[in-house]
Amino acid sequence: MFSFYVLGMGLILCFSLVWGIFLLSRRRWISGSIAVGLPVFIVGAVVGLYFWAFYESKPSALDLSLEQEGQQFIVKGKWNTRLEPYQFGTDFLVFYTPEDIPVQPLRYTKGEWQPDYWNFQEDIVEHVRETAPMDRKAQLFDVKAEEEFKFVFEVPGNISLGQLKIYYVHVHSAPMSSFTYWAKEVR
């Protein structure tokens, strides 16, 4: 079906270009310019809309860092590219701590996620589980998807950066499609 659409657009574009060149050669400048310019503009707009609507970010588009200031830890993130038009609006930080010590968030911009969606939470944790420590329990926090974000938290006890495993999970929700995820480890 898509190939017929492309073939039809190509035929219309070729016919319009030939017709426009014919009109321009007969010194009909306005109608020739319209016959050449309008289809080229329409095809360009359709192609641009297609690439805008189906853009998906990649893990390399996000810079993540983890810093320690005393007993506080800071996760900083910055997107190098734009966010998708069909992003979920909420991304997640998944924490694994030694002996499953609870993470206490201090400052962050909370997302709009409803904790009633337990299946959704399980999907996110399952997506990360391939590279996560199997003996630890996941702790999930929703973070509003923004171009720059900061998540400040504390972990009780004397824990170093090397003992924490933190993953950033980005959720993409295209219309009429299921959620897609990618995860990136915070280092």
41 and 72 fall within a common domain: no
Asked whether the predicted pLDDT for residue 124 surpasses 70, the reply is yes
158 and 85 fall within a common domain: yes
Radius of gyration of the chain (CA): 25
Domain with 77, as residue range(s), is 59-186
CATH of the domain at 65: 2.60.40
**pLDDT for the residue 163:** 84
Overall number of domains in the chain? 2
The DSSP output letter for 110 is B
The 10s digit of each residue's pLDDT in 8-60 is: 777 888 887 788 787 778 777 777 777 778 888 888 888 777 777 777 788 88
The 10s digit of each residue's pLDDT in 52-111 is: 777 778 888 899 999 988 888 999 999 898 877 666 778 889 998 888 889 988 888 777
Among candidate residues 36, 13, 11, the one with its CA nearest the CA of residue 23: 36
- Give the position of tokens 């926090």: 141
Residue 111: what residue type? Answer: G
28 and 72 fall within a common domain: no
The DSSP output letter for 103 is P
- Give the position of tokens 């589980």: 129
Give the pTM.
Answer: 0.72
